[in-house]
Structure 1
């Protein structure tokens, strides 16, 4: 046998046939929608598929699999480990095919780099393997593959490989399509999932059916989205306008990627779309950093197949985060798969204003690249920074005159009367406690540290009707708290106070009677307003939102902190005229438009950061970084997963058993212990605690030493954890920092 894979066992021919099956599936499903590919390109792709793995016939590769299977090794005249993708190119009989010079280069690069290796192609080594091992076996390879193999020894293709494509190359996007689709076919075949799933399940029809079944009439936003299915769309719409349904109506019959900034929001929409009491749509996938666990618990008996399909971008509709599918502007090695998948597809970006300026720059760049491969986009947001619109207008690939733009806000819906207070929440705790005796009161502050301090003080004043929610509870307890705040909020007559961070801005559907909030940047602040009188009109003349504006005392303001001070100050200047007045929906949109106008932003760190990021992406050389490095740059703040010491003490014996347990028994334990973990910014451990000791010392040890074990990334943290799941009260992690605040 001439092996391609050891588990499950597959020959090169069998694996290639699977790719060809997926090639036919892809072409049948979306071939007529990929206008960027010509008939000749499809022919080239089929040839590339047939030859992409023939280099695996190399004796060194075969012996590696034979050793894994306990079989006798073959004699091999050389002993070098050479990536099979380079050797595959050396076996292609280019003289047999009528290829242009451009087509030959495309072929060589698509096959030669269908695996991105650290090991560069070396002519002498490749020549040795071809001359001593592969070409002497050419007849056997030809019989096995039913494919002609070159009779001529030539390594001139290495010269082609050493000059990689760049964005200025006229054939750059043609190359992206050929190599990217080869990646998709190869990965789908290896995972044994269809390259495209649910092709005949248009989500637009399911959305129509769902709305009709509940007697919902399409509003102006939804009709606008449906009418502009063939165009790019920018829609500004206030909370409660049915933006999810509008986006799905715009998706119509096309393959669609729906991105949201927060995993909890994605999970909620995924459930609403897929569950029987919702849209009962079965062709949706879910992809984010913890999607595997969510699907394991909520995805039914075939969740593993669904997860594999999601990872391979196979689903008709994929609910996901931007770091999973839109990081291709980094041009990392292997980015072609993501970008090629956008061809003929639609991408929805929800709430673009919540992203940091450098991430927003990446999104603006990604929209340009999506258009270049024939995809379409919808930006759906409550507020749209003018800066981003101006940058889109300046891009070559996007004609803004052909982008459908709509603004959907109700000037008659008055939900918020604000009062600005040049003080901090701590100065008004007696008042807050009094209001919490007959109202549902929400406090939002900018850092975890401030939230915990307020919880301790207010608990002394108001007793048990005070609750705390932030990101530094364990995954299990945070999920419980998020459910509890919804349940609490649904009880109309149940008063009390919840103290939270910006965690609740866009992830939790709640509607409190009164909001007390530290000032943040305007777009974040307006998101906070959506947690108060979310679903009702203000029916009295008193303020229902109290904004604390002492920038020297509120938390999270300043360089290298949560919010840039200059941006907050500029926003405060715009808010000043609304002190004591109604802040209606059109005003919110207009204030963000003013704040984020390039002229108004002049001199701010925000504008400098955005412009530097745009310059970075414009000048980036392709193929210089790995996907992991791109992911880290995109996430910006790298997180560390920890389990507090007092919680880990309860698991010590089980961990010892886990270390030696069979692989099949480990997953359940990993899930159980991961529910007790917390994700913390790595940067916080650069600081010191209240005693002046480096916080890095608090990371005591890894739960598991084996670097291949998923739990090896979990650290035991020297810190106390406090939470009572019966009362849903407690502070979470308890340890004091000297200078640095903890975020959200």
Structure 2
């Protein structure tokens, strides 16, 4: 038995008779990485790594070579544990271990500064010392997902590597050499010089696969520790036990599709329209993965078009899943059921994983119904014979593993975070690199978020990941910017498509850009545009809806929505008013959405819609498939205004009152202070300048958007301010962004790319959205005797026991009372946090409630915070009470 067999890798501090040897853990990790490569990793990623890592024309030989390289990194990943620094720390947790090593000639005494040589950094140092390339050594150095010092470790801390006084240099170097020679041999390399050198893209992916393998191999549920004198189990049976426990499904594999229209009908239950057919045809005829930007009218079926195209692309390029990104949690929740239904049709008897990826997935009941805490199939409650092969795997429930599931539906943040200098960012890359990516409502992202979007698109292009981008319309410069980002080029993009073509598809194939106006088999819709003074609003509403029908009033701030909703309720008592914005608790907002879908959704009746007025913010223009007979809106940028018109006369199935058969949108003339703060004065003035008296939807969309966003011939103070704000946002965003320009270089290592730790903080993680890191609280009432209760209309205002840990069900009910505070409080962040209540001690034992803050209301549902009075109601949400209000 070699001395290396006595090296320890794992221990349990309070069970000194339990351990795992370095050799066993290294072999566990290498066995798992091979199994993941064979059974789980998408063929797209396998082929991509092989193409850039090894020089083999034969695919089987190339795959074997890549497998061997991954196996080598796994065997070597913990070589930094074969050091006095590491062994001196762990040996005190293992009974008799220090003495055992001493008997075998290794002295661990007086290792005074072991923390200066963490084992990942030590691994990097040892491998470079023995001639490995910086690129391979960096994979080992980054296997804990964070940056590390690559300075001269051995020279600066010789005691950590060679023992006290460096007297055992020969002994420790012999151990390193023994394990390196052993690892090279079983992976098919005759020497270090034979090991291939990965570029930074491959470093990112192989490191992620190594991290995943190490996490699985370190989980004692899959790979138990041994008693100190117990003989290790047979490797084959140990791996078999772990793999069965882990129960990861095989990679998703799409069979060739020969009849695209038939496939579409089977998936969605109706025949594809012209836009959907042409997108599928173009996708089918491309010869290399690319980006596809589909700009088409609201309600045309872009979601179905994208899913059909994604299935074709997955079959062509062997992708193992999809990621569907949306602007908000509400939009992600809204589409989850549709994507789940589509995903279920992809299984063909196999099991596959699904993941809803955002910060509040615990509160999505449909998603939670798929998660049973294990990797077992979920069966229908109504039909026990029906097996549901789409399920939520608990291993992918961690935020860092979210994108590793097969079918991922989430907020755009999950995609943007792939360009954040953040610990374990490699796992996001591994999750995305094997998928087809779909980004919806791309027009909803501002200049700040676009920096992250462009950087991540550059990585997708580098990984040859097919990307589908959906939007109602985009300014020409933004469309070009997306193409250039994906191709990671500064060169001008030649595209001969008429910039006023609509609907339009722009795509790349073999690094060339193409564009085509798509067929459109729906007649144009004429929408009259009128102007409306705020003082006239109630009179106009009364007149317009005098014979029934429904209307939407969309304003740009929550405060304005609340004020108008109150005014209209007071002055138009014969009408029903629903106020809808982002400052409701999660539960109340969900209730409002359900009400709106019933009252003004696609299947709503004339009675449902009768004399109903919905007053709200931008949330009305997103996600919900709702339809109004008349619309009023505050001025907003042209592309968003046109998006709002998508909720006006959306469906032809409704019988509208005679006065409302012609669609009309009225532009509300209000104090624009809040609007200018959100959108900027220049964009609003440009929109006002070019907004015609009649919109011809959709043919007018591209020309109007182009005019508004075009750079003016003559500058103005408003234009300069607009440009300055964009520049400031982009500069601010770059602070935490990975530099994708370095992708063009061939000799970059991960430590050069991820040379900053700023992404490890919560604030950095929130930085993918500018100003979105607002304070969230749980909203409860506190009775005069100090008891916490639900809001009066929730569970009957039941009291919540503060002396016990809430059950999962009760914890979820409490967590659904989450609400964002107004931005005023975010600007006074620390003061606000100090003023808020903390949850009861026993509640901290709940996973859903740990770390949450409380805003408690009195029995009148009011509270005071930083000298401001707040009130909450089911009708208007959280609002600030003015001094003169009762």
TM-score, structure 2 normalization: 0.68
Residues 653/15 of structure 1: CA separation in 2 closer, same or farther (3 Å cut):
farther
Is 1:234–1:405's contact at 8 Å kept on the other side of the alignment?
no
Between the aligned partners of 2:19 and 2:861, the Cα distance in structure 1 is 50
Aligned equivalent of 1:166: none
Q: Given the alignment of the two structures, is residue 557 of structure 1 paired with residue 675 of structure 2, yes or no? A: yes
Between the aligned partners of 1:565 and 1:36, the Cα distance in structure 2 is 49
Is 2:80–2:120's contact at 8 Å kept on the other side of the alignment?
yes
Alignment counterpart, residue 432 of structure 1, candidates 541, 554, 562:
541
Between the aligned partners of 1:87 and 1:73, the Cα distance in structure 2 is 21
Residues 265/601 of structure 1: CA separation in 2 closer, same or farther (3 Å cut):
farther
SS in 2 for 1:239: coil
Aligned equivalent of 2:34: 20
Residues 452/584 of structure 1: CA separation in 2 closer, same or farther (3 Å cut):
same
Alignment counterpart, residue 619 of structure 2, candidates 483, 490, 503:
503
How far apart are residue 360 of structure 1 and its match? 1.7
Q: How does 1:631-646 map to 2 (within 5 A)?
A: 631-636=765-770, 637-644=772-779, 646=781
Aligned equivalent of 1:45: 70
Aligned equivalent of 1:701: 837
Between the aligned partners of 1:340 and 1:264, the Cα distance in structure 2 is 26
Gaps of 5+ in 1: 151-156, 158-168, 689-693, 739-744
Residues 270/9 of structure 1: CA separation in 2 closer, same or farther (3 Å cut):
farther
Q: How does 1:235-384 map to 2 (within 5 A)?
A: 235-252=294-311, 253=314, 254=319, 255-275=321-341, 279=345, 282-294=352-364, 297-301=368-372, 305-306=392-393, 308-309=395-396, 311-343=401-433, 345-384=435-474
Between the aligned partners of 2:713 and 2:198, the Cα distance in structure 1 is 38
How far apart are residue 74 of structure 1 and its match? 4.4
Is 2:42–2:252's contact at 8 Å kept on the other side of the alignment?
no
Is 1:411–1:586's contact at 8 Å kept on the other side of the alignment?
no
SS in 1 for 2:488: coil
Aligned equivalent of 1:711: 849
Residues 385/93 of structure 1: CA separation in 2 closer, same or farther (3 Å cut):
closer
Residues 50/293 of structure 1: CA separation in 2 closer, same or farther (3 Å cut):
farther
Between the aligned partners of 1:573 and 1:104, the Cα distance in structure 2 is 60
Between the aligned partners of 1:206 and 1:219, the Cα distance in structure 2 is 12
How far apart are residue 479 of structure 1 and its match? 0.7
Alignment counterpart, residue 452 of structure 1, candidates 562, 569, 574:
562
Between the aligned partners of 2:560 and 2:143, the Cα distance in structure 1 is 50
Q: How many residues align?
A: 693
Residues 219/605 of structure 1: CA separation in 2 closer, same or farther (3 Å cut):
farther
How far apart are residue 383 of structure 1 and its match? 0.5
Residues 333/607 of structure 1: CA separation in 2 closer, same or farther (3 Å cut):
farther
Between the aligned partners of 1:717 and 1:147, the Cα distance in structure 2 is 61
Q: Deviations over 1:92-120 (max 9, x none)?
A: 4975xxx7xxx611111111122245763
How far apart are residue 571 of structure 1 and its match? 0.9
How far apart are residue 680 of structure 1 and its match? 3.1
Q: Given the alignment of the two structures, is residue 730 of structure 1 paired with residue 875 of structure 2, yes or no? A: yes
Between the aligned partners of 2:738 and 2:572, the Cα distance in structure 1 is 57
Residues 242/404 of structure 1: CA separation in 2 closer, same or farther (3 Å cut):
farther
Residues 483/641 of structure 1: CA separation in 2 closer, same or farther (3 Å cut):
same
Residues 309/221 of structure 1: CA separation in 2 closer, same or farther (3 Å cut):
farther
SS in 2 for 1:567: helix
Q: Given the alignment of the two structures, is residue 129 of structure 1 paired with residue 148 of structure 2, yes or no? A: no
| More displaced 10-residue stretch of structure 1: 27-36 or 519-528 | 27-36
Q: Given the alignment of the two structures, is residue 672 of structure 1 paired with residue 813 of structure 2, yes or no? A: yes
Alignment counterpart, residue 524 of structure 1, candidates 633, 640, 655:
640
How far apart are residue 485 of structure 1 and its match? 0.8
Is 2:161–2:172's contact at 8 Å kept on the other side of the alignment?
no
Q: How does 1:413-492 map to 2 (within 5 A)?
A: 413-415=523-525, 417-424=527-534, 426-436=535-545, 438-463=548-573, 465-489=576-600, 490-492=604-606
Is 1:201–1:316's contact at 8 Å kept on the other side of the alignment?
no
Q: Given the alignment of the two structures, is residue 649 of structure 1 paired with residue 663 of structure 2, yes or no? A: no
Between the aligned partners of 1:482 and 1:605, the Cα distance in structure 2 is 37
Between the aligned partners of 1:71 and 1:415, the Cα distance in structure 2 is 80
SS in 1 for 2:523: coil
Residues 683/713 of structure 1: CA separation in 2 closer, same or farther (3 Å cut):
farther
Q: Deviations over 1:302-361 (max 9, x none)?
A: 578535336353333322222213333344454333335444543222121111112123
Residues 148/219 of structure 1: CA separation in 2 closer, same or farther (3 Å cut):
closer
How far apart are residue 427 of structure 1 and its match? 3.1
Between the aligned partners of 2:815 and 2:554, the Cα distance in structure 1 is 28
SS in 2 for 1:657: coil
SS in 2 for 1:109: helix
Aligned equivalent of 2:243: none
Residues 22/591 of structure 1: CA separation in 2 closer, same or farther (3 Å cut):
same
Aligned equivalent of 2:80: 55
Residues 212/502 of structure 1: CA separation in 2 closer, same or farther (3 Å cut):
same
SS in 2 for 1:583: strand
| More displaced 10-residue stretch of structure 1: 187-196 or 620-629 | 187-196
Between the aligned partners of 2:553 and 2:324, the Cα distance in structure 1 is 31
Gaps of 5+ in 2: 1-5, 55-61, 100-107, 186-191, 223-245, 376-391, 496-511, 740-752, 791-797, 863-872
Aligned equivalent of 1:164: none
Is 2:273–2:521's contact at 8 Å kept on the other side of the alignment?
no
Aligned equivalent of 1:111: 140
| More displaced 10-residue stretch of structure 1: 583-592 or 210-219 | 210-219
Residues 654/601 of structure 1: CA separation in 2 closer, same or farther (3 Å cut):
farther
Residues 537/28 of structure 1: CA separation in 2 closer, same or farther (3 Å cut):
closer
Between the aligned partners of 1:509 and 1:67, the Cα distance in structure 2 is 63
Is 2:40–2:250's contact at 8 Å kept on the other side of the alignment?
no
TM-score, structure 1 normalization: 0.80
Q: Deviations over 1:370-399 (max 9, x none)?
A: 212222222211101222133346556356
How far apart are residue 610 of structure 1 and its match? 4.0
Aligned equivalent of 1:583: 696
Between the aligned partners of 2:714 and 2:596, the Cα distance in structure 1 is 37
Aligned equivalent of 1:176: 204
Is 1:270–1:286's contact at 8 Å kept on the other side of the alignment?
yes
How far apart are residue 565 of structure 1 and its match? 1.8
How far apart are residue 131 of structure 1 and its match? 1.8
Aligned equivalent of 1:686: 827
Structure (1 or 2) with the larger CA radius of gyration: 2
